[in-house]
Amino acid sequence: MKRLSLLPRSGLCLSGLCLSIVWLAGCKPSEESNVKAIVGAVLIDGTGGAPVTDSVVVVAGSKIRAVGTRANVPIPAGSEKIDGRGKFLLPGLIDLHVHLGTTGGPGFRAADYTRGRVETNLNQYLYFGITSVRSIGTERDAGFAIRKDQRDGNLSTARLFTCGRGFTAPGGHPSQEVGDIARQPATPEEARTQVTELAAQQVDGIKIWVDDLGGKAPKIKPAAIEAILDEARKHTIPVTAHIHSLADTMHLVQNGAAGFLHMVRDTENVDPAFISRLRDLQVPFTPTLVRQELGWLYSEHPERLDDPDAARAFEPAALAGIREEAKAQRGSAAARELFDRAKRNTRQFAAGGVPIGVGSDGGSSSDLPGLMTHREMELLIESGMSPMEVIVAATRTGALALKKLGEMGTIEAGKKADLLLVTANPLEDVRNLRKIHATMLDGQWVDRAGLKLK
């Protein structure tokens, strides 16, 4: 498949016709001149349905045109044929919980947020097979500018969905880390005004942090939460909340929250009727277990930082910083108990039919973008989900949470051609999702080796 990296990418069109319109519309090859057929792979389409052997997936322009088997889907004459035999084809992965504009090293510094670093982070996700991310709560102007460029047709890195700046209490979590990038309205009226500002930015969602860090920080007041949810509803913007307690989660659901980050961690005694309600409403939870595990992961497993992909994808200073910080980390018994409880609740919610999504909190302190998305998938397996359930979490449920299921998240005709071709079976081991042979974004093969990662 070496030739894939030599293919022209959008913006590098070679035909005279394309060059003549490049000034107006970017360089988008016409659909008919740009048909690809991936032939012979085992298809795992993201719906959770049985894998399809000897599959054919036809891509025209930026979209999937046809999906089936070699027996029932004709390969269009003149299409570029890609041999998928011995490989596994999946939808591109979706990370629902990221923070952009960081080094991935320890700490979260406002000064790190530059357009260049946001682009670097998006490239890091793409390098690890994540074709879309939801940046949730700490976005500044550069992220919106990048999203606009992408929507204008210049999509060359992971697709960005952004929630702008999220809401917390005055002085509430995570303002101790991120400062005033977290909105801290003093009154419900101020919160409503700020939702209107976010609506004007056409955010893809709204973030609220609802967590008092075990009594150590102020928590946003119910009246402010209700004002945000009410105002967001008027603008039809989905609201996703960082939660810790079951009571807060129930209050948020009662008032129309569309999704959750982290898992209920104050109790395992959850009313089955509430779990059924979450299932019926199809409200996704993104457990983000890896954020908890990072409290001790590298002190116990410093060798994980020797991963060749870490050296390839991240700045040496960021990796050295994580290594240094890990020396002092132990992970208290209480923190480990909360982690185990979050895993048990993940299992309980998943078994009850609540949609579980994949989110890494990548870009927060020592949380390496993209690499930790894969660690999160391993932790969902440890929680008791099956590999197929975790693949659905990382694909279909990602699109569900983004309210984009009609456009992406599964390999079905008419959807965006965001694809991942791996060389070993992820149903045997989800770590095989890192054995990436090729990634397709918006119908274009990604030049993985050429991505600017530092």
CA angle in degrees (0–180, nearest 5) for 149-152-158:
55
Cβ closer to Zn ion: 34 or 102? 102
Q: What is the edge-to-edge ordering of all strands in the sheet holding 42-43?
A: 42-43, 88-91, 419-422, 436-441, 444-445
Quote the least distance from Cβ 69 to Zn ion, whole Å: 41
CA 145 from centroid of its chain's CA atoms: 19
- Core vs surface per residue 222-261: b (16+ CB within 10 A) or e: eebbbbbbebbeeeebbbbbbbbbbebbbbbbebebbbbb
Number of residues that bind Zn ion (CB under 5 A): 1
Quote the least distance from Cβ 391 to Zn ion, whole Å: 23
- Tell me the helices (H) and strands (E) count for the chain, helix number first: 16, 16
Residue 89's beta-bridge partner residues? 43, 421
| String of contacts with Zn ion for each residue 219-258, x by CB under 5 A | ----------------------------------------
Quote the least distance from Cβ 99 to Zn ion, whole Å: 6
Cβ closer to Zn ion: 95 or 361? 361
* Binders of Zn ion in range 10-29 (CB under 5 A): none
Cβ closer to Zn ion: 34 or 124? 124
Cβ closer to Zn ion: 92 or 362? 362
* Binders of Zn ion in range 383-422 (CB under 5 A): none
Cβ closer to Zn ion: 139 or 361? 361
Quote the least distance from Cβ 83 to Zn ion, whole Å: 40
Binding status of residue 95 toward Zn ion by CB under 5 A: no
- The answer to whether 298 touches 327, Cβ cutoff 8 Å, is no
Cβ closer to Zn ion: 82 or 98? 98
Cβ closer to Zn ion: 40 or 143? 143
- The answer to whether 354 touches 392, Cβ cutoff 8 Å, is no
Residue 196 tokens read as 């209107």
Cβ closer to Zn ion: 120 or 286? 286
- The terminus-to-terminus CA distance of the chain in angstroms comes to 25
| String of contacts with Zn ion for each residue 155-184, x by CB under 5 A | ------------------------------
List all residues 6 or more positions away from 27 whose beta carbon is below 8 Å from its beta carbon. 10, 11, 12, 13, 18, 19, 21
CA gap 90, 19 in Å, rounded: 33
Give the range of 78-86, 123-131, 271-279, 358-366 binding Zn ion by CB under 5 A.
358-366
Task: Select the residue whose beta carbon is closest to Zn ion and give its number.
Answer: 361
CA gap 144, 207 in Å, rounded: 16
Cβ closer to Zn ion: 62 or 364? 364
Residue 418 tokens read as 């965001």
Cβ closer to Zn ion: 45 or 361? 361
- The answer to whether 299 touches 275, Cβ cutoff 8 Å, is no
Quote the least distance from Cβ 78 to Zn ion, whole Å: 46
Cα-Cα-Cα-Cα torsion 241, 245, 246, 247, nearest 10 degrees, comes to: -90
Residue 108's beta-bridge partner residues? none
Cβ closer to Zn ion: 131 or 288? 288
Quote the least distance from Cβ 165 to Zn ion, whole Å: 13
Quote the least distance from Cβ 132 to Zn ion, whole Å: 17
Cβ closer to Zn ion: 168 or 439? 168
Quote the least distance from Cβ 108 to Zn ion, whole Å: 10
Q: Tell me the residue type at 388.
A: M
Q: For the chain, how are helix, strand and coil distributed in percent, rounded to 5?
A: 40, 20, 45
Give the range of 22-30, 357-365, 369-377, 404-412 binding Zn ion by CB under 5 A.
357-365
Give the range of 262-270, 339-347, 354-362, 436-444 binding Zn ion by CB under 5 A.
354-362
CA gap 69, 78 in Å, rounded: 19
Give the range of 51-59, 356-364, 407-415, 432-440 binding Zn ion by CB under 5 A.
356-364
Give the range of 83-91, 104-112, 276-284, 360-368 binding Zn ion by CB under 5 A.
360-368
Cis peptide before 185 (omega within 30 of 0): no
Binding status of residue 211 toward Zn ion by CB under 5 A: no
Give the range of 35-43, 117-125, 355-363, 388-396 binding Zn ion by CB under 5 A.
355-363
Quote the least distance from Cβ 361 to Zn ion, whole Å: 4
Quote the least distance from Cβ 228 to Zn ion, whole Å: 17
Residue 422's beta-bridge partner residues? 88, 436
Quote the least distance from Cβ 367 to Zn ion, whole Å: 9
Binding status of residue 361 toward Zn ion by CB under 5 A: yes
- CA atoms in the 13 A half-sphere facing the CB of 259: 31
CA gap 119, 242 in Å, rounded: 25
Quote the least distance from Cβ 77 to Zn ion, whole Å: 49
Applying CB under 5 A, the residues found at the interface with Zn ion are 361
